[in-house]
């Protein structure tokens, strides 16, 4: 309330001064309507280790990589940093401005008996003021997660949007060993680190999808020599089969409230149609009715509409419909192939696999409000885009020959990066919702 | 007792005295006749005694006796007398001549003395007169000098007044002339000023437009425009610039952008420091009022 008042009074004063200045000759008026489309320079200085032995993780490196991957920020090269500031001292802002940084992260890690404390401050270099100051406690085995959480806090403070670094990725890893293929369902950190297999099979696994609480994964498994949809608890490994009809059981997607699971099911009338399963009542509802192939449903954030891929127009395009199957609209018009929709959490953007005039399938993003479509990918066989929960990044599988790698692109297309460079083929990545944040203490 | 003795002896004594007196008298009388006293001289030699007749009868006898002798003696006396008188007269004449001579000399000395005195006096008088004259002259000279000095001073003062008056008149004349010239010049200058003001305003507008476009391009290069800029963005920023272009203060005014976007705007203006150099001849700008808008993308 006080700050509101202050702002109000300040506004009046400024307004008055603007009025007074409007007749002064020494005032110039300039309208600014455009800017540059580039990443904001930020300096993440090395986190000083205050403990015995080796520090468990390079926190600054994790944060820098995260910020860089977002496309929004361009971390300074450590060689260009003018100083190593400490937590207890005001940085030399002028030197950091000279070095070209807009913002500056200073931090330290305190360690004692396997318990750690990640402390950091975020400064606006131009205004010379602290924007953030926190102490995040963490166990030794969760230091990366603490670093991701710090990254989120920094990202949120700078961009005004929630971060998506303290999240996970699920993907399918296809392993060829001794002439036999082996498939794993893998869950990793958002930066691809710390992959853990939660299910393995000698038969294909496809299309993992996160529940909104990030506790469960739905996926298609052929372990029983037919397609079958399972919902598995990520932590406990406990799972159940929710659909194992004859024909196709594919492309599961949790509704935003986690109660429903949309999927593509064969009905015996041509290609598969979109259905919605009520997970509580175990009831199916058919959504689309067409002889064409309707698949890859994706929920809009309000939970009332679904986007899906259909070749009902001849070539695969993306459509949307209400849950009762009414009001079907075609969403994509650019290119001769648009598939695998993923809707950003704010409902504004839709990512897809797109093929236009140039041959090859690439990641593209369509602005659903303005109808503009932008191709982000540079590969020629991208698959399975999935929005980060904050909409700033898209994870996808980039196939090169018969290999596929995990790649991420910022929604603005500025930054593309491969996350895992394993020799195995990676497919069908899915980005989890935000994980619960650990406790943290504000510092002044 | 003394008076008694005197009376006893008074008679004979009286007689003796009388006789002597008589004798003396006769002698004197004879002398008188022979030696008249020159009354004309102021200094008569010897005293003149006046005999007093005593008793005629006693005298007659003696007198008769004596008369004869007397007569002779008188005769001799007269003769002697005449001789004496002659000698006396000669002596007297000599004496008188000497006296005259002496008197003449004395008179002459006196005259000379008087003359000397007179001369001295005249000399003194002359000196006094000269001193007086000198003093008078000096006084006259001093007075004359004082008068001259006064006159000179008055003349100078007069000259000064005259000069001042001349100067005043000249200055007045100059002033009138100058005022007239100035009025003319002012009119000309006013015209020139208006002409220049118009030219200057045109030049200023042109310079300002040039500077504005430079500032705009410069700030736009420094604005890392976030993707979530509202389409209807209107964000006012006031930047204070000092000579050299350095931005010393940035304040966000009315602004409908979220905080993170407003921050990029403030950062853009701060990062744009120093602003491009202001064109030479342009009125210096100390404030730049930016309005960041979201219309074009």
User: Do A148 and A230 fall into the same domain?
Assistant: no
User: Do A279 and A174 fall into the same domain?
Assistant: yes
CB contact set of A146 (below 8 Å; sequence gap of 6+): A59, A116, A118, A136, A137, A138, A438
Q: What percent of chain A has pLDDT over 90?
A: 64
Q: Return d(Cα A346, Cα A350) in angstroms, integer.
A: 10
Residue A440 lies in a domain: no
User: Do A213 and A181 fall into the same domain?
Assistant: yes
Q: Return d(Cα A148, Cα A169) in angstroms, integer.
A: 13
Q: Looking at the partner chain, which of A14, A25, A40 has a beta carbon nearest the beta carbon of B253?
A: A14
Residue of chain A whose Cα is closest to the Cα of B211? A28
B-facing residues of A in 103-132 (CB < 8 A) are: 124, 126-127
Q: Which domain holds residue A138?
A: 38-164
Contact B226 A158 (CB under 8 A): no
Tokens of B140: 């006259």
Is residue A3 less than 8 Å (CB to CB) from chain B? no
User: Do A155 and A222 fall into the same domain?
Assistant: no
Contact A264, A294 (CB under 8 A): yes
Is residue A159 less than 8 Å (CB to CB) from chain B? yes
Number of H helices, E strands in chain A: 4, 32
Q: Looking at the partner chain, which of B228, B285, B290 has a beta carbon nearest the beta carbon of A26?
A: B285
Please determine, for residue A1, whether its predicted confidence score (pLDDT) is greater than 80. no
Q: What is the mean pLDDT of chain A?
A: 88
pLDDT attached to residue A273: 95
| Residue B194 distance to chain A (closest CA, Å) | 18
Contact A30 B290 (CB under 8 A): yes
Chain B contact probe: residue of A4, A33, A130 with most B CBs at under 10 A: A33
Task: Please give the span between the terminal C-alpha atoms of chain A, in angstroms, as a whole number.
Answer: 20
The number of angstroms, rounded, from the C-alpha of B246 to the middle of its chain's C-alpha atoms is 77
Would strands A40-44 and A103-112 be described as parallel, antiparallel, or unpaired?
Answer: parallel
Lowest mean pLDDT among A82-96, A189-203, A291-305, B132-146: B132-146
Q: Looking at the partner chain, which of A10, A24, A102 has a beta carbon nearest the beta carbon of B271?
A: A102
User: Do A51 and A150 fall into the same domain?
Assistant: yes
User: Do A190 and A322 fall into the same domain?
Assistant: yes
Residue A404: which H helix or E strand, with range?
A: strand A403-410
Contact B287 A27 (CB under 8 A): yes
Residue A125 lies in a domain: yes
Q: pLDDT, tens digit, for every residue of A99-145?
A: 999 999 999 999 887 789 999 999 999 999 999 999 999 888 889 99
What CATH number has the domain bearing residue A43? 3.40.50.10070
Q: pLDDT, tens digit, for every residue of A359-417?
A: 889 999 999 988 789 998 777 889 999 999 989 899 999 887 777 888 889 888 878 88
Buried residues in B265-281 as b, exposed as e (16+ CB within 10 A): bbbbbbbbbebbebeee
Contact B224 A40 (CB under 8 A): yes
Asked which of A146, A164, A182 is the last residue of a domain, the reply is: A164
Contact B294, A31 (CB under 8 A): no
Tokens of A227: 């397609």
Q: Return d(Cα A100, Cα A92) in angstroms, integer.
A: 13
Residue A442 lies in a domain: no
Q: pLDDT, tens digit, for every residue of A311-350?
A: 999 999 999 999 999 999 999 999 999 999 999 999 999 9
The helix/strand/coil state of A258 is coil
As to burial, measured by CB atoms within 10 angstroms (0-12 exposed, 13-18 middle, 19+ buried), residue B14 is exposed
pLDDT attached to residue A438: 59
pLDDT attached to residue A439: 63
Provide, as residue numbers in chain B, all residues whose Cβ is less than 8 Å from the Cβ of A26. 283-287
User: Do A316 and A362 fall into the same domain?
Assistant: yes
What CATH number has the domain bearing residue A356? 2.120.10.30
On the CB side of A395, CA atoms within 13 Å amount to: 28
Please tell me the total count of domains within chain A: 2
Q: What is the mean pLDDT of chain B?
A: 82
Contact A103, B270 (CB under 8 A): no
Contact A394, A415 (CB under 8 A): no
Query: What's the 3-state SS for A357-402?
Result: CCCCEEEEEEECCCCCEEECCCCCEEEEEEECCCCCEEEEEEEECC
| Residue B239 distance to chain A (closest CA, Å) | 10
Q: How far, CA to CA in Å, does A103 sit from each of A67, A152, A275, A345, B277? A: 12, 15, 48, 27, 27
Provide, as residue numbers in chain B, all residues whose Cβ is less than 8 Å from the Cβ of A157. 260
Q: How far, CA to CA in Å, does A309 sit from each of A267, A329, A363, B156? A: 17, 11, 15, 122
User: Do A46 and A78 fall into the same domain?
Assistant: yes
Q: What percent of chain A has pLDDT over 70?
A: 92
The CA-CA-CA angle for residues A371, A377, A379, to 5°, reads: 145
User: Do A68 and A195 fall into the same domain?
Assistant: no
Q: Return d(Cα B59, Cα B61) in angstroms, integer.
A: 6
Q: Looking at the partner chain, which of A124, A126, A161 has a beta carbon nearest the beta carbon of B228?
A: A161
Please determine, for residue B129, whether its predicted confidence score (pLDDT) is greater than 90. no
Residue A329 lies in a domain: yes
Residue B111 pLDDT class (50, 70, 90 cuts): confident
Residue A156 lies in a domain: yes
User: Do A288 and A363 fall into the same domain?
Assistant: yes
Provide, as residue numbers in chain B, all residues whose Cβ is less than 8 Å from the Cβ of A40. 224, 264, 267
Lowest mean pLDDT among A271-280, B114-123, B235-244, B279-288: B114-123
Lowest mean pLDDT among A81-85, B219-223, B243-247, B292-296: B292-296
Asked which of A164, A180, A210 is the last residue of a domain, the reply is: A164
pLDDT attached to residue A437: 62
Asked which of A164, A188, A210 is the last residue of a domain, the reply is: A164
Q: pLDDT, tens digit, for every residue of A47-63?
A: 999 988 888 889 999 99
Residue of chain B whose Cα is closest to the Cα of A38? B224
pLDDT attached to residue A2: 43
User: Do A313 and A191 fall into the same domain?
Assistant: yes
Per DSSP (E only), the strands in A71-227 are: 73-75, 103-112, 115-124, 129-139, 168-177, 180-189, 196-201, 205-210, 216-221
The helix/strand/coil state of A87 is coil
Q: pLDDT, tens digit, for every residue of B196-238?
A: 889 888 988 999 999 999 999 999 999 998 878 888 999 999 9
Is residue A12 less than 8 Å (CB to CB) from chain B? no
Residue A443 lies in a domain: no
φ/ψ (deg, to 5) at A241: -85, 130
Contact B219, A30 (CB under 8 A): yes
Q: Looking at the partner chain, which of A32, A37, A159 has a beta carbon nearest the beta carbon of B290?
A: A32
Tokens of A51: 């403990």
Q: pLDDT, tens digit, for every residue of A270-320?
A: 889 999 999 999 999 999 998 899 999 999 999 999 999 999 999 999 999
CB contact set of A51 (below 8 Å; sequence gap of 6+): A109, A110, A111, A112, A116
Choose among A117, A191, A237, A15: nearest CA to B289.
Answer: A15
Q: Return d(Cα A218, Cα A226) in angstroms, integer.
A: 16
Residue B29 pLDDT class (50, 70, 90 cuts): low
Q: Looking at the partner chain, which of B212, B225, B263 has a beta carbon nearest the beta carbon of A28?
A: B212
User: Do A346 and A216 fall into the same domain?
Assistant: yes
DSSP letter, residue A67: H
Q: How far, CA to CA in Å, does A329 sit from each of A320, A326, B127? A: 5, 9, 157
Alpha helices (runs of H) in chain B, residue ranges in sequence order: 2-8, 10-34, 56-222, 259-271
pLDDT attached to residue A93: 95
Residue A177 lies in a domain: yes
What number is the ipTM of this complex? 0.78
Contact B223 A36 (CB under 8 A): yes
Taking CB atoms within 8 Å and a gap of at least 24, the contacts of A91-100 are: A91/A123, A91/A125, A93/A123, A93/A125, A93/A126, A93/A128, A96/A43, A96/A125, A97/A125, A97/A126, A97/B271, A99/A43, A100/A41, A100/A76
Residue A307 lies in a domain: yes
């Amino acid at each position: 309330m006080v700050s509101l008042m202050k702002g109000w009074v300040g506004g009046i004063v400024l307004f008055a001064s603007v009025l007074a200045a409007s007749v002064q000759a020494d005032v110039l008026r300039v309208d600014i309507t455009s800017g540059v489309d580039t990443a904001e320079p930020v300096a993440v200085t090395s986190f000083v280790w205050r403990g015995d032995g080796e520090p468990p993780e390079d926190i600054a490196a994790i944060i820098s990589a995260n910020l860089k991957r977002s496309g929004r920020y361009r971390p300074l090269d450590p060689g260009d940093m003018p100083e190593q500031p400490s937590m207890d001292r005001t940085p030399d802002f002028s030197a950091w401005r000279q070095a070209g940084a807009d913002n500056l992260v200073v931090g330290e890690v305190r360690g004692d008996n396997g318990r750690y404390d990640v402390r950091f401050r975020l400064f606006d270099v131009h205004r010379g003021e602290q924007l953030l100051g926190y102490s995040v406690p963490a166990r030794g085995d969760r230091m990366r997660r603490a670093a991701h959480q710090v990254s989120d806090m920094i990202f949120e403070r700078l961009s005004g949007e929630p971060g998506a670094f303290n999240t996970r990725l699920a993907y399918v890893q296809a392993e060829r060993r001794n002439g036999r293929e082996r498939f794993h369902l893998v869950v990793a950190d958002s930066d691809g680190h710390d992959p853990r297999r939660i299910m393995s099979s000698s038969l294909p696994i496809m299309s993992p999808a996160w529940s909104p609480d990030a506790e469960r994964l739905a996926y298609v498994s052929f372990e029983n020599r037919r397609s079958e949809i399972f919902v598995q608890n990520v932590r406990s490994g406990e799972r159940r089969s929710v659909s194992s009809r004859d024909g196709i059981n594919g492309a599961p997607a949790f509704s935003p409230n986690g109660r429903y699971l949309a999927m593509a099911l064969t009905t015996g009338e041509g290609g598969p149609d979109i259905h919605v399963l009520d997970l509580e009542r175990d009831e199916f509802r058919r959504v689309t009715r067409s002889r064409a192939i309707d698949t890859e449903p994706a929920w809009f954030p309000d939970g009332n509409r679904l986007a899906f891929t259909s070749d009902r127009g001849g070539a695969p395009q993306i459509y949307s419909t209400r849950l009762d199957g009414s009001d079907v609209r075609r969403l994509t018009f650019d290119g001769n192939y648009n598939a695998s929709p993923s809707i950003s959490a704010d409902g504004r953007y839709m990512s897809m696999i797109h093929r236009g005039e140039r041959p090859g399938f690439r990641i593209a993003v369509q602005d659903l409000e303005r109808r503009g479509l932008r191709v982000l990918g540079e590969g020629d066989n991208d698959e399975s885009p999935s929005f980060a929960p904050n909409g700033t990044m898209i994870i996808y599988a980039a196939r090169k020959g018969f290999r596929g790698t995990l790649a991420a692109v910022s929604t603005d297309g500025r930054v593309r990066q491969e996350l895992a460079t394993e020799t195995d083929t990676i497919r069908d990545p899915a980005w989890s919702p935000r994980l619960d944040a650990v406790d943290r203490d504000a510092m002044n | 007792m003394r008076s008694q003795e005197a009376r006893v002896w008074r008679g004979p004594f009286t007689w003796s005295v009388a006789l002597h007196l008589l004798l003396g008298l006769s002698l004197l009388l004879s002398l008188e006749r022979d030696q008249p006293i020159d009354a004309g001289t102021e200094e008569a030699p010897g005293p003149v005694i006046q005999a007093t007749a005593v008793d005629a009868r006693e005298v007659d006898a003696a007198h008769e006796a004596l008369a004869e002798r007397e007569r002779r003696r008188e005769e001799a006396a007269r003769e002697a007398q005449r001789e004496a008188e002659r000698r006396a007269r000669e002596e007297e004449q000599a004496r008188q001549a000497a006296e005259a001579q002496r008197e003449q000399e004395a008179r002459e000395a006196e005259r000379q003395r008087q003359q000397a005195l007179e001369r001295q006096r005249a000399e003194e008088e002359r000196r006094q007169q000269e001193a007086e004259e000198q003093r008078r002259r000096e006084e006259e000279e001093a007075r004359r000098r004082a008068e001259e000095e006064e006159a000179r001073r008055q003349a100078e003062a007069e000259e000064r007044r005259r000069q001042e008056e001349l100067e005043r008149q000249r200055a007045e004349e100059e002033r009138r002339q100058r005022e007239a010239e100035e009025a003319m010049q002012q009119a000309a200058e006013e015209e020139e000023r208006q002409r220049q003001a118009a030219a200057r305003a045109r030049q200023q507008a042109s310079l300002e437009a040039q500077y504005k476009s430079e500032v705009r391009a410069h700030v736009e290069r420094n604005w890392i425009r976030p993707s979530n800029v509202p389409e209807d963005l209107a964000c006012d920023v006031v930047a204070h610039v000092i000579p050299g272009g350095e931005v010393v203060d940035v304040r966000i005014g009315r602004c409908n952008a979220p905080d993170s976007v407003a921050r990029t705007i403030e950062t853009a203006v701060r990062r744009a420091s120093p602003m491009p150099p202001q064109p030479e001849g342009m009125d210096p700008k100390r404030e730049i009022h930016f309005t960041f808008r979201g219309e074009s993308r």
